[in-house]
Amino acid sequence: MKKRLYLELENCIGCRSCLAACTQCGGHEERNRNYVYDVNPLVNRQTMPLMCLHCVNPACARSCPAQAIQIHETGAVLSALVEKCIGCQNCTIACPYGIPKFDTEQNLMYKCDLCIDRSKDGIPPMCASVCPSNTLQWLTDEEIEAKQKQFNLDNGKWVTSMPYLEGETNVRVNLPGILQGVTKLF
């Protein structure tokens, strides 16, 4: 059963466990590939993760002159192949979300590979495994559909970004506002 990374940004508590977990994934050389931002640090404690969305037609891969960014059969947009990457940094500029990171010492791009050694076998990525607040989840398409129904208001107000943002992505995102449609119990 295919599972996807699904984000509920409103849940984030800023613990950065996703960053710590990313360093622990095999083949990640103890470097995290994800980001967490303080939305308005002088005002409140709101935070949100910024994750690779694994675009179906990824700008990073399209921009790469060396075909160093492969797309796995699961849809995961992989980290640059060491033997192909020429370190031009096109991808870091092309990505609309600024996801690819650059290692100047190795002259190599590295990015989220959806923990491919895990996710290819259906094991949740490290970040989605540990996220204490369920901001990051690893769900089946049915579960995501149920979420979408839950969060779309009857009045037709579009409160989620699902199914996708501008272009089609493998990761599904729920923007702040997940509680808008909830009816109070009493």
Partner 1 sequence: MQKVEYRNERDKFFKEIENLQHPNETLVKTHCSYCGMQCGMNLRVNTKTNKIIGVEPRYDWPVTVGKMCPKGVTAYQQTNHKDRILKPLIRDDASLKGTKEGFREASWEEAYDLIAKKFTELQQEYGKDTLSVFSGVSMTNEKCYLTGKFARVAMQTRYIDYNGRFCMSSAAGGFLRSFGVDRGSTLPWTDIHETDCLFIAGSNTAECHPTSMFRVWNVQERGGYIIVVDPRETPIARRADLHLDLRPGTDLALANGIVNLLIQKGYADEEFINKHTNGFEETKELVKEFTPEYTSQITGVAPEKIIRAAEIYGKAPNAVVMFARGIEQQHKGVDNVSGYTNMALVTGKIGRPKAGVATFTGQGNGQGGREHGQKSDLLPGYRKLTNPKHVEEVCQVWGITPEEMPQPGVSAYEMFELMDQKTIRGLYLLCSNPAVSAPNLNFVRKAMKGLDFMVCADFYLSESAEFADVILPSVTWSEDEGTVTNIEGRIIKINKAQEPLGESKPDWQIQAELAERLGRGKYFSHLKTARDVADEFRLASKGGYADYYGATWDKIEKQDGVFWPCKDENDPGTPHMFLDKKFYHPDGKAKICALPYRPPAEEPNEEYPLRLTTGRVVFHYLSGNQTRRIQFLHDMCPEPYVEVHPETAAKYNIEHEERVRLFTRRGEAVYKVKITEAIRKDTVFVPYHFGHDQSINLLTIAALDPISRMPEFKACAAQIEKLELKKVQ
Give the total residue count for the chain: 186
Nearest distance from residue 75's CB to ligand SF4, in Å? Answer: 12
Residues numbered 90-119 forming contacts with partner 1, rule: CB under 8 A: 117-118
Binding partner 1 (rule: CB under 8 A), the pick from 9, 11, 34, 95 is 11
Residue 21 CA to residue 132 CA, distance in Å, equals 12
**In contact, 76 and 54? CB cutoff 8 Å:** yes
Residue 33 CA to residue 120 CA, distance in Å, equals 18
Indicate the residue among 47 and 90 with the shorter CB distance to partner 1.
47
Residue 87 CA to residue 157 CA, distance in Å, equals 44
Q: What are phi and psi of 59, to 5 degrees?
A: -60, -35
**In contact, 70 and 80? CB cutoff 8 Å:** no
Residues numbered 137-176 forming contacts with ligand SF4, rule: CB under 6 A: none
Q: Which does 1 bind (CB under 5 to 8 A by kind): ligand SF4, partner 1, none?
A: none
Residue 139 burial class via C-beta count within 10 angstroms: exposed 0-12, middle 13-18, buried 19 and up: middle
Work out whether 59 is an interface residue with ligand SF4 (CB under 6 A): no
Q: Which does 95 bind (CB under 5 to 8 A by kind): partner 1, ligand SF4, none?
A: none
Binding ligand SF4 (rule: CB under 6 A), the pick from 6, 8, 17, 137 is 17
Residue 130: Cβ within 10 Å count: 16
Q: Which spans of this chain sit near ligand SF4 (rule: CB under 6 A)? A: 12-18, 21-22, 25, 33-34, 36, 47, 49, 51, 63-64, 66, 68-69, 80, 85-91, 109, 112-115, 125-127, 131-133, 135-136
Q: Which spans of this chain sit near partner 1 (rule: CB under 8 A)? A: 10-11, 13-17, 19-21, 23-24, 26, 41-47, 117-118, 121, 123-124, 126, 129-134, 178-179, 182-186
